[in-house]
Structure 1
Amino acid sequence: MYRRLLLPFFLLGLLAFLAGCGETPTGRSQVALVPNPLMDDMGQDAFNQLRERQPVSGNAQANRLVQCVAEHVIAGAEASYLGLDFPKRWDVVVFEDPSPNAFALPGGHIGVHSGLLQVAETPAQLAAVVGHEVAHVLADHGNERLTQQLGIKAVLLVVGLLGEGDFGSQQLMQALGIGAQLGIRLPFSRAHEEEADLMGLEIMARAGFDPQQSVALWQNMAANGGDQPPEFLSTHPAHETRIRGLEQALEDATAIYRSATPADCS
């Protein structure tokens, strides 16, 4: 009985130990065990599927704006994080979608929804979003999240095999599942968002975009986003939390911006 109960906690402890084996560009401990070529392949497959399912914008002005901002942001990212391996080329696509969203995928793929251009009122505000999404890729957040999910599933599988249908074991599996959701997946997702915010702020500043516009962008997002779930049940920080974190980092980012060549995507 005790061995059955202790084994899953031993495995969780092993995962926690592995988390100290790597670091993100900001120095946060990280476990990301999926091979990078596999992540790149998954990113390519996902992007291809999106292009098949989602209409691509034919708005020439919108495409020029997004391409310009993305080129500056990528250059800013390469200047900010010299030791990282960057994709040799980036695919940048504007999708016809009214939601104010954007994403970046492993392997060098950036997607921007046309609806984002209604919320991001300036090129710098668009750069804040694109820089944030590129930061997710540079910090291997997708790899880390996938590794966590695989680890959680492995622990629950072991508990299920050891319990052999025992009611107490089923209760333990349910408790571990809920604990993993609230204690691992969601907080780590919020940590990813906060880390991408700070990395993206530096990237946009070094790319020549005013980092003050990142705060304006998220104020626009808050005005357009409606109600959010409680922060402890959300994968993203509350808008107020995100804005406060950006404001605290503005001094350093502004100093970087003042030394950069201003970007012109007007």
Structure 2
Amino acid sequence: MRRNPFESGQARQGGRRGFGFSPRLLILVAFIAYGAYYYFSNRSTDPLTGETVLIDKSISPQDEKALGLQAYQEILAQETPVDPHSQISRQVREIAQRLIVKIPEVEDALAAEHGMQAQHIEDSFDWDVTVLQSDQANAFCLPGGKMAVYTGLVPVAQNADAMAIVMGHEITHALLRHGAQRMTEQKLAQLGQMAGAMSGMDQQQMQMAMSIYGYGRSLPYARKQESQADEMGLMLAAAACYNPEEAIALWERMGQASGGQAPPEFASTHPSSATRIENLRALMPKAQQYRERFCTGGAGGSP
């Protein structure tokens, strides 16, 4: 019987292993594709910094405001507010009022530097400031304009000029929507974690991947936000007639107050005091220009 010349080839071909895609690889590719789509579809240019930012379009300033109010109420329920009629409370409110009045002018000027128009999300803010009894040398401003200053900041600030610089920095975080940016970054990180888990990465591999993300993306991103808040906060304080030069002495005192306990810059969400001082020195000529341009009276003082 004559042998079929194609038989052996067909048999050999049928015995070979197929070249199909692994389901896990397909899942990983799908996550990567969605992550890329999410990233590029939610990018925009911030008119106040000229930087490309990532803010989930489903997060509106009103959503942030509601979250800020909820967080503020929770903090006030846990902390001890200082008597609103006390001297320090009145002085902190005065500083806040002077800064708030200057926001529209400063925003318009910063946006004009980048050929853009400011969005003025502060028009919907319900401003409020409380002094809290605590040893923390800290302050915050939540989305929507709810602010607090801890009494531990007073001896470090030492004067109204330095206090205004800190408060201007915190107000800027809210104006630049840094909270929404952080929420968007967290969603991207969660997508990465899900992709890793679905692709079969073990715990050690996941930890290594998240460590790379943290040091390579998350921490530098947070430090960049702090530097942005330093810059705009300095311009805001200068426009409100406070002395921007006090920023240098303030961060020298902040560095001393930390007692050398601050983590190294590469492992921190904040720039080191030395880096901040260097950046602020470079910004001082611009801050003095803002003071000359927008300061229409008033002066700093001691809180």
What TM-score do the two structures reach when normalised by structure 2? Answer: 0.81
Deviation of 1:124 after TM superposition, in Å, equals: 0.7
Q: Are 1:24 and 1:30, in contact at CA under 8 Å, matched by a contact in 2?
A: no
Q: Deviations over 1:185-224 (max 9, x none)?
A: 2111000000000010111111111111111111111121
**How far apart are the structure 1 equivalents of 2:107 and 2:234?**
13
**How far apart are the structure 2 equivalents of 1:18 and 1:222?**
40
Give the letter for the 1:242 counterpart. Answer: R
- 1:155 aligns with 192
Q: Deviations over 1:1-48 (max 9, x none)?
A: 554555554455445434643425111110111222221111000000
Deviation of 1:93 after TM superposition, in Å, equals: 0.3
**How far apart are the structure 2 equivalents of 1:247 and 1:142?**
27
1:84-163 aligned within 5 A: 84-86=120-122, 87-163=124-200
Question: Which residue, 278, 289, 297 being the options, matches 1:244?
Answer: 278
* SS of corresponding position for 1:30: strand
Give the letter for the 1:132 counterpart. Answer: H
Question: Which residue, 208, 221, 242 being the options, matches 1:188?
Answer: 221
1:179-218 aligned within 5 A: 179-218=212-251
* SS of corresponding position for 1:67: helix
Segment drifting more, 47-56 vs 23-32: 23-32
Give the letter for the 2:48 counterpart. Answer: P
- 1:48 aligns with 73
- 1:263 aligns with 298
* Structure 1 consecutive aligned stretches of length 4 or more whose deviation exceeds 6 Å: none
Identity across the alignment (%): 29
* SS of corresponding position for 2:121: coil
- 2:50 aligns with 27
Segment drifting more, 120-129 vs 31-40: 31-40
Give the letter for the 1:225 counterpart. Answer: S
RMSD of the TM alignment (CA)?
A: 1.9
Q: Are 2:35 and 2:191, in contact at CA under 8 Å, matched by a contact in 1?
A: no
- 2:9 aligns with none
Give the letter for the 2:164 counterpart. Answer: A
Structure 2: segments with no counterpart, 5+ residues: 1-21, 109-117
1:38-77 aligned within 5 A: 38-58=63-83, 60-77=86-103
* SS of corresponding position for 2:199: helix
Give the number of the structure whose alpha-carbon radius of gyration is greater. Answer: 2
Q: Are 1:72 and 1:263, in contact at CA under 8 Å, matched by a contact in 2?
A: no
Segment drifting more, 169-178 vs 147-156: 169-178
**How far apart are the structure 1 equivalents of 2:190 and 2:277?**
34
**How far apart are the structure 2 equivalents of 1:233 and 1:249?**
25
- 1:37 aligns with 62
* Residue 14 to residue 182, structure 1, CA distance change in 2 (3 Å): farther
Segment drifting more, 62-71 vs 219-228: 219-228
What TM-score do the two structures reach when normalised by structure 1? Answer: 0.91
* Residue 196 to residue 235, structure 1, CA distance change in 2 (3 Å): same
* SS of corresponding position for 1:92: strand
* Residue 136 to residue 91, structure 1, CA distance change in 2 (3 Å): same
Give the letter for the 2:44 counterpart. Answer: C
**How far apart are the structure 1 equivalents of 2:121 and 2:276?**
28
**How far apart are the structure 1 equivalents of 2:99 and 2:256?**
25
